[in-house]
Chain A
Amino acid sequence: MINWWKALAIILLLYTVIAGFLIGVPRLAILNETIRNLYFHVPMWFTMILLFLLSTIQSIKNLGNGSMEADRKAIEYVNTGIIFGVLGTITGSIWAQYTWGAWWTNDVKLNGSAITMLIYLAYIILRNSMEDEQKRARISAVYNIFAFVMLIVFIGILPRMTDSLHPGNGGNPGFDTYALDNNMKLVFYPAVIGWILLGLWIASIRLRISKIKENIES
């Protein structure tokens, strides 16, 4: 089933690639043309965080009414979010090598996001390690809520309290204060929406497959 929002995802992402490379960007030292990575690297993280948030909401729902569907949704949102997190890490690493001079630095945001990814990988392992369905749903839901709290701490709070190479953290000004000019906003916001819709699309397919599996098993 192709909904309007899936078509919108396609249009926005094609627009992101075309406008993202052809529309002018501010000329900044060191960054040079790599500033265009903003349209691709940053939305990976936004998409991951949104998918993890949706997963957390499903976990809370599961704890509230014991819904097994909420449990299935929670794991599929995390499975999809991890993909975007991995892509965000790899793209960030390449970008770092050519602007900060190293594949990996001890930047708080880098280590924070790495720890967050490990926490979520542990969630998947924890969930797969239990046989009893009710128990599995309950324990992994509690862990999942804890994981999202840790995400907020490691990605949202800690990088803002110390110095970070990332713009908008510590003493560094954000992109929007000097670099994200109106031209860039014209591409950046549609890019974020497009990548998020793509993430939701992939998650929805995973969800439907897991529902079919559930139907076959029962």
Chain B
Amino acid sequence: MKIVLSVVFMLISLIGFSQEIEMADQMRAEGKIYIVVAILCVILIGLFAYLISIDKKVSKLEKEIKE
């Protein structure tokens, strides 16, 4: 009886584990397209930041020439 009960409990706990467990599945869904979007956003933001810094450097030069 004890053995039977323990096996039953083990099975229940196993089933419990194998049931829906919250994971960040959304990020891996649809062929991981979200990862591509994230990487492209990083590249774009990086390039924009660089462009803004170049823009500001040119502004600084313009100011220096005016003075």
CB pair B65–A1 under 8 Å, yes or no, is: no
* Cβ of A171 to closest chain B Cβ, rounded Å: 34
CB pair A14–B44 under 8 Å, yes or no, is: yes
Q: Chain A contact residues (Cβ within 8 angstroms of B): what range?
A: 10 to 19
CB pair B40–A17 under 8 Å, yes or no, is: yes
Q: Chain B contact residues (Cβ within 8 angstroms of A): what range?
A: 10 to 19
User: Which of B41, B45, B58 has its CB near the most chain A CB atoms (within 10 A)?
Assistant: B58
Inside 8 A of A215's CB, which chain B residues have their CB?
A: 65
At the interface, yes or no: B22 with Cβ under 8 Å from chain A?
no
* Cβ of B39 to closest chain A Cβ, rounded Å: 10
Return the CB mask of A8-41 against B: 1 if under 8 Å, else 0: 0010011001100110000000000000000000
Inside 8 A of A211's CB, which chain B residues have their CB?
A: 62
CB pair B55–A1 under 8 Å, yes or no, is: yes
CB pair B62–A10 under 8 Å, yes or no, is: no
* Cβ of B67 to closest chain A Cβ, rounded Å: 12
Inside 8 A of B44's CB, which chain A residues have their CB?
A: 13-14, 17
* Cβ of B3 to closest chain A Cβ, rounded Å: 53
* Cβ of B42 to closest chain A Cβ, rounded Å: 10
CB pair B58–A14 under 8 Å, yes or no, is: no
Q: How far is the CA of A176 from the CA of B51 in the complex (A)?
A: 34
Chain B positions within 8 Å of A, measured between CB atoms, are 33-34, 36-37, 40-41, 44-45, 48, 51-52, 54-56, 58-59, 61-62, 65
Q: Nearest 4 pairs between A and B by C-beta?
A: A17-B40, A208-B58, A21-B37, A10-B48
